[in-house]
Chains A and B, each alone.
Chain A
């Protein structure tokens, strides 16, 4: 039924109802040749809830930032079709962008029923051009605006709903995506926080003896490495409990664990915060006393520890009796101290204590031991 029309520009004219235009482009402005607003898309109208834009001069309501140097509506028309960046002069100055399209003079299309044989009417231009009228003279302009990324703010402020956006406009999908992605990102952040917490905990556990909460061998290695690297003086004490096996055998492992925790408390009491107390075996402990190579001080610490450990430890109705043997060496004994050698020498001093009847403190003597070894 549609007839091929000659491709005259006038035949391409599309007659639009204002409402249809509003549905297609909810953020449009139709502007008269004099620069007055003739119609406003329903969503754009919502952004100015307290006033009607119709009848006002476009440039009095809107500030045009692009194109540059627009002082009159005529300036804008000279640009022909162009991208426009604008915002309200007053109130909420949300930035908007869109397309400015000047409309040219066209003939109005009217149904023509003068066709043969009652067929459907054909749209034909109503030729009303009188001589002297200029083809292409302006009929004003159409501007289709968009809020761009400001849409999030506008939706919130003006309570826009999906009905305020054209079905072909992906804005609502964008808002959906923003929300869905934010949720996913939040979940990921929470997961990262939990993993970070778990990592910290695992790291702490890796350096801690879980029974006594003292440091462990790994932690001791790390500190020795650090001290030797930075050439700091320190005293190293190797402590082994005496009669601990009897406690375990007589009162059970729970009593043994209780005793170990008690020992840990004593060792921590008798050292400073910066020193290291590590449980390096079942009933073996290493103490690193930082910055101290004074044997009288270390001897004092050793004897205080031994005498405190010899006090009976209550476990339920039982009294557990232990003691300790200690071997000590100093970083200052060596020209170039090495961790393994120092541990070894402290151990030899410790066994010397044991040999001498336990509950003793022996200081490693380089001359004596080198003679033996």
Chain B
């Protein structure tokens, strides 16, 4: 998998908990590097090992840490790109949720080798959705939960989110349920189609 994913976890640990924690993770997870390069491939198991070590060090469950990583991806200034690319999904939170189905293909266009889950959005009502994750790996549901929670703040929408499981033709898929309460809860953050596009 692309180092982009490993690096996200590394930056999360460094930015939120400090350099020392990341150094401990590197030692405990027996990672061969201190720094991941975004554009180089690395083994998948590094990611699991690092997440396990980080959770142990923080005395939190991997699910909790994964959710915080999702929130971090959207809210931290170092990850502004992620937020911006997600905001391309639509002008409202509902449009954004529906656009999750395009994320996989969009990312493929930009980075053909980056493996991300395929999202399928089930619409139950105007305010109720399920985002089904189709991926060979488990554990991304919590990251998505964190992302969706932070994006709701970004759009100024009040939502309730929950991670569950769905059984489909013998497979267990992760599902994030989305319930909208108030679309214009707060004003949300600004977004322009061009980064820094405030030229007069």
Contact = CB atoms under 8 A, between A and B. Distances in A.
A161 B90 CA distance: 9
A205 B195 CA distance: 42
Contact of B84 (A155, A160, A179, A187): A179
Nearest to A180: B110
Interface stretch (B37-45, B47-55, B115-123): B37-45
Scoring A176, A179, A194 by chain B CB atoms within 10 A of each residue's CB, the highest score goes to: A176
Given A176-B106, A188-B39, A191-B37, A163 B85 contact: no
Contacts of B40: 191
Interface in A112-168: 152, 155-157, 159-163
Interface string B13-49: 0000000000000000000000001111000000000
A184 B110 contact: yes
A203 interface: no
Interface string A177-202: 10111011001100100100000000
A160 to B, nearest CB: 6
Given A180-B109, A184-B110, A157 B193 contact: no
A191 B36 CA distance: 10
A187 B38 contact: yes
A175 B106 contact: no
A173 interface: yes
A156 B194 contact: yes
A172 B88 CA distance: 7
Interface in B82-124: 84-85, 88, 90-91, 106-107, 109-111
B197 A155 contact: yes
Interface of B is mostly: loop
B187 to A, nearest CB: 15
B193 A180 contact: no
Contacts of A160: 193
Contact of B85 (A155, A180, A191): A180
A194 B33 CA distance: 15
B85 A176 contact: yes
A173 B38 contact: no
Interface string B55-78: 000000000000000000000000
B138 interface: no
A191 B39 contact: yes
Contacts of B85: 176, 179-180, 183
Interface in A215-252: none
B81 interface: yes
B197 A159 contact: yes
Given A162-B91, A180-B85, A175 B193 contact: yes
Contacts of A188: 39
B194 A155 contact: yes
Nearest to A194: B37
Contacts of A184: 39, 110-111
A159 to B, nearest CB: 6
B192 interface: yes
Interface in A51-103: none
B109 A177 contact: yes
Contacts of A187: 4, 38-39
Contacts of B38: 187, 191
B110 A181 contact: yes
B194 A152 contact: yes
A156 B90 CA distance: 18
A344 B151 CA distance: 74
Interface string B157-200: 00000000000000000000000000000000001111101111
Contacts of B194: 152, 155-156, 175, 179
Q: Which 8 A-B pairs have the closest CB atoms?
A: A180-B110, A156-B197, A176-B88, A187-B38, A156-B194, A155-B193, A156-B199, A183-B81
Interface of A: 152, 155-157, 159-163, 172-173, 175-177, 179-181, 183-184, 187-188, 191, 194
Interface of B: 4, 37-40, 81, 84-85, 88, 90-91, 106-107, 109-111, 191-195, 197-200
9 contacts: A155-B192, A156-B199, A159-B192, A159-B198, A162-B88, A177-B106, A177-B110, A181-B110, A183-B110
Given A155-B193, A163-B91, 9 more contacts: A157-B199, A161-B91, A162-B91, A176-B106, A179-B81, A179-B85, A184-B111, A191-B39, A191-B40
